Every structure is written in structure tokens, then in C-alpha cells.
Amino acid sequence: MADKLVIAGREFNSRLMVGTGKYPSLEIMRKAIEASGAEIVTVAVRRLNLGSSEPSILDYLDLRKITLLPNTAGATTVDEAVRLARLAREAGLSDMIKLEVIGDEETLLPDPVATIEATRILVQEGFIVLPYTNQDPVVARRLVEVGAATVMPLGSPIGSGQGLPNFEHIQLIIQRVNVPVIVDAGIGAPSDAALAMEIGADACLINTAIAQAKDPVAMAEAMKLAVEAGRKCFLAGRIPKRTFASPSSPTEGMIGRPKA
């Protein structure tokens, strides 16, 4: 059976989602997105210059192959986030929205109370809401209760490249909710992406580690392979960790070993 990522009934083959910010150029962004194999690409509604005749990120995305996931980056209140989501839908971008309501300008940590409220409003308005959230399983459950289609806990702060220092918290979220869990933010290297998938995350969203790599196209491919490897590992079932050694060869009947 094909192993698809399903979000609100929509099926995707790739479990890697990518962002569109921080690339050295739009052409490199285009090539990196292609190398990543991502089918879902997020763009900040604020950066789109809707209505302007200037070249836009959208001109560099193959919208026949990818699903656009507008995001509310920059919003710090419920009202701002809801307004950006409505703007994206009115502009014909999508009814799927990656909801970000930032609660702290320095750490870019999400405001969980505002995120739950904005999710509730947007779900009532018919949006498919993918909220960026912290690593609290209770908040994740509340988001699902108000209709979130996924939850997107941060691995570590946006752009920090710190990976998943508290991956056990994300594991708890995975155990507690019945919607896809997408690790968003902080992934710095393919090993981080693989770890996220190995513990059972449904997908990863990666921006900075690809866009700011020395070679973004090669890094995009490395992330693609890591997400695939991590997912295969999860499905295959990794061995439990043991405190003591367990010999690889049977010890029974070994030559030269005195009989008990």
C-alpha cells in the first residue's frame, strides 16, 4: 500500500515541505525546491506583493506540481493572522493556511492562546488550518479540538538549526493527537530530519537549513533522502535501546568454549 501523507483528505507522496525565504536568489530557490521533491511549499503572504507587477516568488514555483501553503508569518495577534489568511484566500492562493501567531519577537516562539483562537475562527470560516505550535501536547490537543488539520510543533527556534533537542516532547504530541504531526522549524541537518521521522512525525517543514546552506540544491536533496530514510526506519521499526551489549553471534556451541 502506498505510504501517503494525508492532510484533510488531500494526499501527498512527499513528506518534506519547504519554505521560500532566505535563498540567495529566486532561481536557486526554484532549483532547490525541485531537488527537494517537496509537493507542499509555504510562502509568507506578507512577502507576496499581491497586485504588484514586480517578479514574485510565485513566478518561480511550478504550481502544476506543488501545493501552495500560504503562511501568516509576521502576525503577532489573532486579528493579523486571520486577516492574512483571508487575504491569501481572496487572492486565490489557497484555502489551506499555515497559521503562525508569534508571541515573542526575539525567540519567535508561538503564542499558544492566540494560535488556538485564530485556528478556531479560521476553521469556522472553512479554512484548512495547519498551526505552528510549541512542544506542549496539551496545546496540540486543544488545537485539534478546535479543528486543526495538522499540528506543527517546532523542533527548536525558527532559523536556529538546533535540531530537536527535546524530541521526547514531540514524541508525546505524536502519541496524543490523531492528525498529522509536522516538525516545523529548527531542523539544521539531515540527521535532524531523519530523527523527526524516525520518532513518528508525519512530515518535516524545512527552510533555513536548505536556503542558507553553501549549496542549497544539494542540501535540498540531502533533506529529501533523510526524510525518506527516517520514514522507512519508522515503518520498519527500530530496535529498542539497551543498556548492555548483546552479542551479534550466538554464544551457544562456540568452538573452544568449555561446556557448562
Ligand X SMILES: CC(=O)[C@@H](O)[C@H](O)COP(=O)(O)O
Residues that bind ligand X (CB under 6 A): 19, 21, 42, 71, 98, 132, 158-159, 184-187, 205-209
At residue 40, the 3 state secondary structure works out as strand
CA distances from 229 to 104, 166, 191, 211 (A): 34, 21, 10, 21
Binding residue per annotation — 208? yes
**Cell numbers describing residue 185:** 522549524
Binding residue per annotation — 207? yes
Measured from the CB atom, the residue of 12 and 132 that comes closer to ligand X is: 132
Measured from the CB atom, the residue of 116 and 185 that comes closer to ligand X is: 185
Smallest gap, in angstroms, from Cβ of residue 158 to ligand X? 4
Find out whether 223 and 190 touch, Cβ atoms under 8 Å. yes
Smallest gap, in angstroms, from Cβ of residue 208 to ligand X? 3
Binding residue per annotation — 159? yes
Which amino acids are annotated catalytic?
98
Helix axes 216-236, 190-198, angle to 10 degrees: 20
Measured from the CB atom, the residue of 158 and 195 that comes closer to ligand X is: 158
- Name 71's bridge partners: 44, 98
Rounded CA-CA distance 151/192 in Å is: 18
Measured from the CB atom, the residue of 133 and 174 that comes closer to ligand X is: 133
Rounded CA-CA distance 134/137 in Å is: 9
Smallest gap, in angstroms, from Cβ of residue 207 to ligand X? 3
Measured from the CB atom, the residue of 108 and 121 that comes closer to ligand X is: 108
Smallest gap, in angstroms, from Cβ of residue 88 to ligand X? 13
List the one residue out of 149, 145, 155, 104 whose CA is nearest residue 131: 149
* Other Cβ atoms closer than 10 A to 73: 21
- DSSP string for 156-198: SSTT-----TTHHHHHHHHHH-SS-BEEES---SHHHHHHHHH
Rounded CA-CA distance 142/119 in Å is: 10
Binding-site residues from annotation = 159, 185-186, 207-208
